Each structure stands twice: as structure tokens, then as C-alpha cells.
Structure 1
Amino acid sequence: MRLIDLSVPIDASVWEPNPVVHEVLSPAEGARHMADGMLANHGIAFDPAELPGGEMLSLDTLTLTSHTGTHVDAPSHYGSHAAYGRPRHIDEMPLDWFLRPGVVLDLTDQPVGATGPDKLLREFERIGHTPRPFDIVLLRTGADVLAGTPKYFTDFTGLDAAATNLLLDLGVVVIGTDAFSLDAPFGWMIERFHRTGDRGVLWPAHFAGREREYSQIERLANLDALPSATGFTVSCLPVKIAGAGAGWARAVAIVEDPADG
């Protein structure tokens, strides 16, 4: 069995539209924090100098959104009401959605904007496989090479409403992308809305989740490392954050070694 990391790091040192704050207490600072804070608050006196090297444990505190880094969107992210009832939060989603056979589709030839269903149909024919119900479909756009830069927010392709609904019609309930969003870039959509007045160009992939329940994985990476379009399992179990519209995930592809078969 081989594991391929499909996740980007959460990194406070690179550009993010919502900046990450990462504060670190060193092991020595952690010892003082423990003695002067947690223990002192419980009336327990302790000298950190008694610890080996005067150190205890490091401690990281992060301020970030649940949509930073590789993450899974829950239906409640798409709106407070849905045609099928109350949209579920990330802690309520069935775990078996997120450990399923994977299918990767190559969209690297698509321009900035929204990809339509014809491209997906051509990909099904090229790879000789149409996604089955509960397959996890991953869209390789190549945008992950821009992660950590402002262009990651502006230079990628997403799905339009028809392409999203094509996958949902096939029974797919988890769609992933290595781009910033499953929709087209924000500026691209808003420019077309201002030009045409068509509200349907605004976040159609996300808003499809108001009609049918599904989840997205955004900000994947390394989809070019997958050995084939099929024949692997995706694990993208989201962190269980109560009442949240998304949860971070360490997404990986599990590739079985033929020698072990």
C-alpha cells in the first residue's frame, strides 16, 4: 500500500486571503505557561526549573478559518436552507462519504473561468470510466502550483452549474479540486454578473448544494502524482468541528501495491 499526500499545509508564512496567525510557545515557555497558568489557577505551586532542561511541552495557537488549507465543505456552508431540509454541519456528515474510490479528471487544459459538462464527458470517455455513486471525483486543474500566492485566488478553473449537476446526477456526493474553489474565481464570476445581470453565474457549484446534499474538498494538491485516473481510494475525513460549515482534512490517496495482491 502506498499513500499519496493530496493536502496543502496550513502555513502562516505564505499569502492567504484570510491571513493565518500562528503563535508558538517554546517548550521553555510552555513550562512557564503550565506553572504560572494552569497549575497556579488550581492552587498548585510548581517550579519549572524542576523539569529536565526547564522545559515542558511546546504549544501552538492558530487563528484561521475552517476554509484555510485543504478542507471539506459541509452542506451548511452553502446556505441556511435547502430543498431537502436542514443542511447538515461538518460534524454531522456520514464518515463513509469520505473514504471511497477516487476518480481524477484532468482539467489542466481549461482556461480561467468555469468548465462545463462537455469537458467532463470527454474526460469520462478518455479515461474509460464514468463515476459511480459515491465515487470521490477529484478535479486536477494544476492550480495547486500557485498555492501561497495571490494568483491562487484568481487564476484557476471551476465548474459551472451544469457540470456540477452532471456529477450529482451520477450519484457523486463528494467533489474535490486542487484549486482555491470549486466555483470559478470570485472576480471572474462577479465581472460576468455585472456584464450580463445573470445571477446564475454566481457560485453555481456551491449553490447546487442547496438543491442536493453534497460536499466539496477544496485546496487539494499533488493530483498529478496519482498513477492513474482510477484504481485508488481517497481518504479525506474532516475534522469534527461542532456546528461548522467546513473542517480541515489531511486528504490522501491510498494506492494498493499490485505485488501485495
Structure 2
Amino acid sequence: MRIIDLSSPVDAAAWEPDPVVHQILTPAEGARHMSEEMKKHLDVDFDPAVLPAGELLSLDTFTLTSHTGTHVDAPSHYGTVAEYGTPRHIHEMPLDWFLRPGFLLDLRGQPVGAAGVDVIKKELTRIGRDPEPYDIVLLNTGASAHAGTPKYFTHFTGLTGDAVEFLLDLGVVVIGTDAFSLDAPFGDMIERYQRSGDTSVLWPAHFAGRRREYCQIERLCNLDSLPGPTGFTISCLPVKLKGAGAGWSRAVALVAD
């Protein structure tokens, strides 16, 4: 079985609207820290110089949001109240949602904004079939080419609320994208709202999750490496962050040789 990595890294050197902070305790610093902690909590004296090269273990501390890097949005991210009941947090979601056959839609070439049902139907006609219930639908928008730059957050294609509802009607419960968001870029939505006064253009893909329970995978990458629209399994198990509206995921595609 071949494993294709679909996850974007958490990188403190990359541009983020909420910057990532990465603090490193080197193995030598870890040895001194352990010595200090033993003295503080156990009243034990330990000289780290007796360790090989005076080193113990490194320790990395990251400060970041749960929406940094490739992550899965839980229903509770979309709001506190839903038509179907209390929205579940990421640690409450069924794991079998996140290990399923994948179904890739090619939305490259779509303009900045939100693709509608007509775009989705045209792509399904090209592929020759619809996704099965619980297939994980992935959107290859081409946005991941700009990852790590400000353009990644302003130039991409999302989905309209109707397009999300259309996929949910087919039995899909997980939709992934290589873009920053499953909605259109913030600036595009705000500009259309200010022009029209229509609040329905604001975050419709996310707010669809207040009517129907589903999850999003955002900030995927490397979707060009998938073998085709189908023929692979997606594993995108989210990290078990209790009470959180999202969890990071090391999303991969599994392709049988």
C-alpha cells in the first residue's frame, strides 16, 4: 500500500494570520531543566553532567490555534445551537467518519469566491458517478500552491451553502479542501455582503453545519498526487482535543499497489 501525505505542516516560519510560536528546549537544556525539576519536586540533587554529552531530551512547545495546519472542524465550530440538537465537539465525533473511501473533485480554474451546485454537478458528470454515502469528498482548488504566504488566505475557491447541502444530500458527512476555508475568502464574502446587504453570503458553507451535522477538513495539500477521482482511502483522524471545535489531523491517502 502506498501512503500519500495530504497534510500541510505546522511551521512557525510560514506566514499565518495567527502566528505560530515554536519554543525549543534543546537536549542539553532539557537535562538542566530535569535537574531543576527533580530538586524542586523531589528534593533530589542530580548533576546532568553525568549524562552522555550532558544531554537528556529535547522538548518543543508550540503556541497555535486548532485551525492551524491541516485540521478537522467539528460541528461545535459552526455555532452553539443546531437544528439537529447540541453540536458535538471534535472528541465526540465517530472515528469511522474519518477513515473512508475518498472522492476527489477538481475545482482548479474556478475564480475567487464560492463554487455552486452547478459546478459540482458538472464535475460529477465528468467523473461519471456520485460519491457514495460517507465517502470523504475532497476539493482540489489549487490553493495549496500558495500555502505559507498571505495569498493563501485571500485567493481561493470555496463552496456555497447550497453546494454543501447538495453533497450532504448524497450522504457525505466529511468535506475536505486544500484551501484555507470551505467558504469563500473573507474579503470576497464581506465585499458581496456590503454590496448586496444579503447576510446569506456570509460563511454559508460553515453555517450549513447548523442545519446538518457534518465535518470539514481544511488546509489539505498535495491533492495533485492522488491517482484519480476515486481509488483511494482517506485517513484523517483528528487529534482528541476535549471540548474543542477542531482538531489537527495528519491526513493521508492510502492507495493499494
TM-score norm. by structure 2 comes to 0.99
Taking structure 1 as reference, are residues 38 and 238 closer, same or farther at Cα in structure 2, changes over 3 Å only? farther
Aligned partner of residue 137 in structure 2, secondary structure: strand
Q: Whole-Å Cα distance in 1 between the matches of residues 205 and 38 of structure 2?
A: 46
- Tell me the residue number matched to 2:88: 88
- Tell me the residue number matched to 1:132: 132
Q: Whole-Å Cα distance in 2 between the matches of residues 147 and 124 of structure 1?
A: 27
Consecutive unaligned residues in structure 2, runs of 5 or more: none
Amino acid at match of 2:236: C
Q: How does 1:1-261 map to 2 (within 5 A)?
A: 1-38=1-38, 40-257=40-257
1:104 offset after TM fit, Å? 0.5
Q: Whole-Å Cα distance in 2 between the matches of residues 204 and 224 of structure 1?
A: 27
Q: Whole-Å Cα distance in 2 between the matches of residues 176 and 38 of structure 1?
A: 46
Q: Whole-Å Cα distance in 1 between the matches of residues 116 and 191 of structure 2?
A: 18
1:3 offset after TM fit, Å? 0.3
| Cα deviation 1:133-173 (Å, max 9, x = unaligned) | 10000000000010000000000000001111100110100
1:45 offset after TM fit, Å? 1.7
Task: State percent identity of aligned pairs.
Answer: 72
1:47 offset after TM fit, Å? 0.8
1:39 offset after TM fit, Å? 5.1
Q: Whole-Å Cα distance in 2 between the matches of residues 224 and 209 of structure 1?
A: 28
1:38 offset after TM fit, Å? 4.9
Q: Whole-Å Cα distance in 2 between the matches of residues 186 and 46 of structure 1?
A: 54
1:127 offset after TM fit, Å? 1.0
| Cα deviation 1:6-50 (Å, max 9, x = unaligned) | 000000001001000000011000111111125532222211111
Aligned partner of residue 183 in structure 1, secondary structure: coil
1:69 offset after TM fit, Å? 0.1
Amino acid at match of 2:125: E
Consecutive unaligned residues in structure 1, runs of 5 or more: none
- Contact kept in structure 1, 2:38 and 2:46, CA below 8 Å: no
Aligned partner of residue 125 in structure 2, secondary structure: helix
- RMSD over aligned Cα, in angstroms? 0.7
Taking structure 1 as reference, are residues 104 and 38 closer, same or farther at Cα in structure 2, changes over 3 Å only? farther
Moved over 4 A (4+): none
Taking structure 1 as reference, are residues 111 and 38 closer, same or farther at Cα in structure 2, changes over 3 Å only? farther
Q: Whole-Å Cα distance in 1 between the matches of residues 10 and 139 of structure 2?
A: 21
- Contact kept in structure 1, 2:72 and 2:249, CA below 8 Å: yes
Aligned partner of residue 220 in structure 1, secondary structure: coil
Number of matched residues? 257
Aligned partner of residue 144 in structure 1, secondary structure: helix
Taking structure 1 as reference, are residues 40 and 151 closer, same or farther at Cα in structure 2, changes over 3 Å only? same
Deviates more, 1:233-242 or 1:126-135: 126-135
Amino acid at match of 1:132: E
Aligned partner of residue 253 in structure 1, secondary structure: strand
| Cα deviation 1:59-84 (Å, max 9, x = unaligned) | 00010000000000000000001001
Q: Whole-Å Cα distance in 2 between the matches of residues 45 and 246 of structure 1?
A: 42
| Cα deviation 1:66-112 (Å, max 9, x = unaligned) | 00000000000000010011100000000000000000000001000
